[in-house]
Chains A and B, each alone.
Chain A
Amino acid sequence: MKAFFLSLLLFTATTQASQALIEFQSPEQQALFKELTQELRCPKCQNQNIADSNAVVAVDMRNKTLELVQQGQDKDQVLDYMKSRYGDFVHYQPPLNKFTLILWLLPALMAFGLVLVLLLRRRAERSGAVTESAEQATPQLEQQLDQLIEQYRRKS
């Protein structure tokens, strides 16, 4: 009886799995397919990749990716195929061009600005222009202070 239930379990498991089973000619192709479906973005459902989405267009893109991978096309070829139809939008890695240049420049500019500020501040500190601590009080300053105190005393 136990064997019967076990075999039943096995049966249901295999029938369910058979739908999503894709056979590849090589582990490389399998890896490429996995990589591509995770990097390609579903054009209909804003923030899902085509591996996660079940929108009709995502399913079609997945099937097309599989077809191209099985034909032996490499990653760039598949990406170009998709981009020529759905635009740069479909790849999560934006290309470097005049519209996206700011994405690369901005972090570098910010880092540069930060270093500049730090350097300027350090230089100012070294020349002693910024801070005037109590230790730096000179007899001359003391004298000035005494004069001021005396002045206000007389007034009151």
Chain B
Amino acid sequence: MRKLAFFIPFVLFIGLSVFLFSGLFSDPMERESSVLNKPLPAFTLPDLQQPDNLWTAEKLKGKPYLLNVWGTWCVTCNAELAYLTELREQGVMIIGLYYQQPSDAAFGEVFNLTALQQEVALKLEQQGDPYQWNILDKDRSLIFDLGVTGAPETFLIDAKGIIRYHHIGDINPQVWQQKLAAAYQSLEE
């Protein structure tokens, strides 16, 4: 009994050390998404380049695709454009959901659609264009309903419009191979 009591602080110390040490290598951004296995929320949003064309959740059904939340202002999004373009060439369907940042009225910023269209077109020309089309979410309403915390984020959505995967951060060859490729291929079949 005495000996056992002697070891208790030691065991507690080891336990605490292991717990804290493993914490050093865990990703604090990683957590279960609450939109997983739920249908894409209802929305009606314009196409970025053809604003008269309105997209709805219903119209996007029929084929599995990646919904990529991005913006020209977002550095990481620009970095992943090249690899996403490669994926498009391999036959992966990618739809862009454009994350528009709020205009700061205090600095006289006003939302200008034409300027944005030009900026996006230029960016995609320079870095590669992975998108079938882009949906403009000016007030971040669908983005809010999807639980997006920032850009880039990517959703894998099946033919019935159910969200199958939610990835926070950029997509690079490693992430694609380890997390998304198998899930996407299983939906394709």
Residues in chain A within 8 A of chain B (CB atoms): 19, 43-44, 46, 55-57, 59-61, 64, 83-89
Give Cα A55 to B147, complex, Å: 14
Selected from A56, A57, A64, A87, the residue in CB contact (under 8 A) with B32 is A87
With contacts A19-B106, A64-B144, A85-B144 taken as known, whether A57 is within 8 angstroms of B150 at the C-beta atoms is yes
List 29 A-B residue pairs with CB atoms under 8 Å apart, sorted by A's residue number. A19-B106, A43-B149, A44-B149, A46-B28, A56-B101, A56-B102, A56-B140, A56-B150, A57-B148, A57-B149, A57-B150, A59-B102, A60-B140, A60-B144, A61-B144, A83-B34, A84-B34, A85-B34, A85-B146, A85-B147, A86-B147, A86-B149, A87-B31, A87-B32, A87-B33, A87-B34, A87-B147, A88-B34, A89-B31
In the assembled complex, how far is the CB of residue B36 from the closest CB belonging to chain A, in whole angstroms? 10
In the assembled complex, how far is the CB of residue B63 from the closest CB belonging to chain A, in whole angstroms? 26
Task: Decide if B102 touches A85 in the complex (CB within 8 Å).
Answer: no
In the assembled complex, how far is the CB of residue B105 from the closest CB belonging to chain A, in whole angstroms? 9
In the assembled complex, how far is the CB of residue B30 from the closest CB belonging to chain A, in whole angstroms? 11
Q: How many A-B residue pairs have CB under 8 A?
A: 37
Task: Decide if A86 touches B34 in the complex (CB within 8 Å).
Answer: yes
Q: Which residues of A contact B58 (CB under 8 A)?
A: none
Which chain B residues in 133-149 approach chain A with CB under 8 Å? 140, 144-149
Q: Which residues of B contact A61 (CB under 8 A)?
A: 144
Smallest Cβ-Cβ distance to B148: which chain A residue: A57
Task: Decide if A85 touches B35 in the complex (CB within 8 Å).
Answer: yes
Give Cα A16 to B145, complex, Å: 32
Q: Which residues of B contact A59 (CB under 8 A)?
A: 102
In the assembled complex, how far is the CB of residue A48 from the closest CB belonging to chain B, in whole angstroms? 13
Smallest Cβ-Cβ distance to B151: which chain A residue: A56
Smallest Cβ-Cβ distance to A85: which chain B residue: B147
